[in-house]
């Protein structure tokens, strides 16, 4: 008998049910806390199907990744086609066609260009990794040591990205000491702004917070960059007032500070425009992207003016897998689908339908403090309308009740009290109406 026989695992028969597969999950570490026990068989468009044949409306989009829907035929075909040619054509060794094409196409999308300028693209694998690249670029280019991030921001879980993150203590607690030279200013959050709920007060409070840092903690000419999400993601789907990014741009220009826009969750048409910064009259110096870029294959990167990007010479940054050929092919197909199917337009239209539906469905529910968002990035904040006491219990309850009705949602927010609705950008009006109906029923079921 084979001496290793006892270690050879016999996979469950393909037709085995979920319970048989779940019996094998012991080795999956707890750090991957999971929202559901679903074992997925396939996904298509806005839907996933479990191995038991149950269908769920997936309004998580894999945390804002599958903007083109699950397994879009054009994306799947591009992946298969490229995988048949070459999978790994390492960036320090070879050029490959999808990479070259992506280096031409994505820079045309850079929102920070002034007339006569050209943008460049750096590719990596994950959001956090692209944030690391942006921080290194800003430090290298400005020769300044510090960065300013905003309270409630989430930028990833690697050491530098986590040091910029303040959306929840679980992401950084017990990991001190973190990267030095990181300072925090308030993010404008009108609903919870201590100086008043109007837009001007919220912007004033945030900008005053930056000025206070300059007066108390760090000289502005030691600051390389502001790192900012144009809409807070993990921090609660908070949409800043229109005046915030222009005011930050003014401050940045005054002190020679770069603006790094973290568009990892907001980019690739999610908010109804290609970038969320396209909604605001303020140009970022660097745009960081991941998630929606390749419809689910691991790819990330940053865009910046070519002269700025040139600050990083050969070897100053990189990685084995960045700009993988199959991931680049998926990104090109993703761009084609976004353009040909007008996914930004659909996100804007369905987003309006979703928000209008949710406003009607939540009307009269005393624990729904706000429905907010742009495009298909929509949050429902559960809190006592008077005191604003966060109600994470109700957010969890809403998720569970929606799950029972075969709708997948996620929470976010520092206190876990915001339910986020992240529909794929290919979603239809009927699907949006179904989701609204389920959320209305779920709120009633939990007595919110
Ligand atoms: C705004 C933002 N930045 C950075 C990240 C980190 O990306 P990744 O998980 O790919 O490292 C995320 C992920 O949720 C994000 O939403």
Residue 93 pLDDT more than 80? yes
Report the separation in Å between the CA atom of 328 and the middle of ligand 1, taken as the mean of its atom positions.
19
Most ligand 1 atoms within 8 A of CB, residue of 66, 290, 298 to mutate:
290
Enter the tokens of residue 143.
């020769």
Mean pLDDT value across residues 342-362: 98
**Residue bearing tokens 């804002």:** 64
Question: What was the pLDDT predicted at 22?
Answer: 92
- Atom of ligand 1 lying closest to residue 153 CA: 1
Please report the pLDDT score of residue 10 as a whole number. Answer: 64
d(CA 27, CA 293): 31
Ligand 1 pocket, residues with Cβ under 6 angstroms: 63, 126-128, 131, 154-156, 229, 233-234, 262, 264-265, 290
- For residue 393, what is the enclosing H or E element? helix 392-404
Q: Which of 123, 229, 233, 418 to mutate to test the pocket of ligand 1 (most atoms within 8 A of CB)?
A: 233
- The predicted structure's pLDDT at residue 112: 80
The mean pLDDT of the chain is 95
- DSSP class of residue 13 equals P
Asked if the model's pLDDT at residue 193 lies above 90, the reply is yes
Please give the number of the atom of ligand 1 that sits closest to the Cα of 300: 10
Helix (H, G, I), strand (E, B) or coil at 112: coil
d(CA 410, CA 60): 6
Neighbours of 232 (CB within 10 A): 29
Q: Which atom of ligand 1 is nearest to the CA of 129?
A: 11
Please state the rounded mean pLDDT for residues 2-12.
54
How many angstroms separate the CA atoms of 346 and 45, rounded? Answer: 14
The pLDDT value given to residue 5: 46
Residue 4 pLDDT level (bands cut at 50, 70, 90): very low
* Local confidence band at 281 (pLDDT 50, 70, 90 cut-offs): confident
Interval between CA 370 and ligand 1 midpoint (Å): 24
Mean pLDDT over 407-414 rounds to 98
Which tens digit of pLDDT belongs to each residue from 237-246? 999 999 999 9
Ligand 1 atom closest to the Cα of residue 158 is 11
The per-residue pLDDT for 11 is 62
Domains and CATH numbers, the chain: 7-64+342-446 (3.90.1150.10), 78-340 (3.40.640.10)
Mean pLDDT for 161-174 is 97
DSSP state of 161: H
Lowest-confidence region among 30-34, 94-98, 172-176, 387-391: 30-34
Q: How many C-beta neighbours within 10 Å does residue 249 have?
A: 19
pLDDT in tens, 11-61: 666 678 999 999 999 889 999 888 899 999 999 999 999 999 999 999 999
pLDDT at residue 129 greater than cutoff 60? yes
Residue 421 pairs in a beta bridge with: 378
Whether pLDDT at 134 is above 60: yes
Residues forming beta bridges with residue 301, ordered by sequence position: 123, 289
Give the pLDDT of residue 207: 98
pLDDT value at 144 more than 60: yes
Q: Whose CA is nearest to atom 13 of ligand 1?
A: 156
């Amino acid at each position: 008998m084979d001496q290793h026989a006892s270690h050879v695992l016999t996979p469950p028969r393909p037709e085995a049910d979920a319970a048989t597969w779940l019996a094998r999950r012991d080795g999956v570490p707890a750090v991957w806390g999971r929202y559901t026990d679903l074992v997925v068989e396939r996904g298509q468009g806005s839907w996933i199907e479990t191995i038991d044949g149950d269908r769920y409306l997936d309004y998580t989009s894999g945390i804002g990744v599958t903007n083109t829907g699950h397994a879009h035929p054009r994306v799947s075909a591009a992946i298969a086609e490229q995988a048949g040619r070459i999978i790994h054509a390492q960036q320090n060794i070879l050029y490959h066609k999808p990479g070259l094409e992506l280096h031409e196409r994505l820079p045309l999308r850079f929102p920070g260009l002034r007339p006569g300028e050209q943008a460049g693209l750096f590719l990596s694998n994950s959001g956090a990794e692209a944030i690391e690249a942006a921080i290194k670029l800003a430090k290298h280019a400005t020769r300044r040591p510090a960065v300013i991030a905003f309270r409630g921001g989430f930028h990833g879980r690697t050491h530098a990205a986590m040091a910029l993150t303040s959306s929840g203590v679980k992401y950084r607690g017990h990991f001190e000491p973190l990267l030095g030279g990181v300072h925090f200013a308030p993010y404008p959050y009108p609903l919870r702004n201590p100086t008043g709920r109007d837009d001007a007060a919220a912007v004033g409070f945030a900008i005053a917070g930056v000025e206070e840092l300059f007066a108390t903690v760090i000289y502005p000419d030691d600051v390389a960059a502001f790192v900012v999400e144009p809409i807070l993601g993990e921090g609660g789907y908070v949409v800043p007032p229109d005046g915030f990014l222009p005011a930050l741009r003014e401050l940045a220009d005054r002190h020679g500070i770069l603006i790094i826009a973290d568009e990892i969750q907001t980019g690739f048409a999610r908010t109804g425009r290609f970038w969320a910064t396209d909604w605001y009259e303020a140009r970022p110096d660097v745009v960081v992207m991941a998630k929606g870029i390749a419809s689910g294959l691991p790819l990330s990167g940053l865009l910046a003016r070519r002269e700025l990007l040139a600050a990083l010479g050969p070897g100053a940054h990189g990685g084995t897998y960045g700009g993988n050929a199959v991931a680049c092919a998926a990104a090109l197909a993703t761009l084609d689908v976004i353009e040909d199917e007008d996914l930004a337009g659909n996100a804007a239209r369905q987003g309006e339908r979703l928000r209008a539906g949710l406003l009607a469905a939540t009307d009269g529910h005393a624990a729904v403090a706000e429905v907010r968002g742009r495009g298909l990035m929509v949050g429902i904040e559960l809190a006592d309308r008077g005191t604003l006491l966060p109600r994470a219990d109700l957010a969890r309850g809403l998720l569970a009740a929606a799950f029972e009705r075969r709708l997948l949602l996620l929470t976010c927010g520092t206190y876990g009290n915001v339910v986020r609705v992240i529909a794929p950008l290919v979603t239809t009006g009927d699907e949006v109406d179904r989701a609204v109906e389920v959320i209305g029923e779920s709120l009633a079921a939990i007595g919110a």
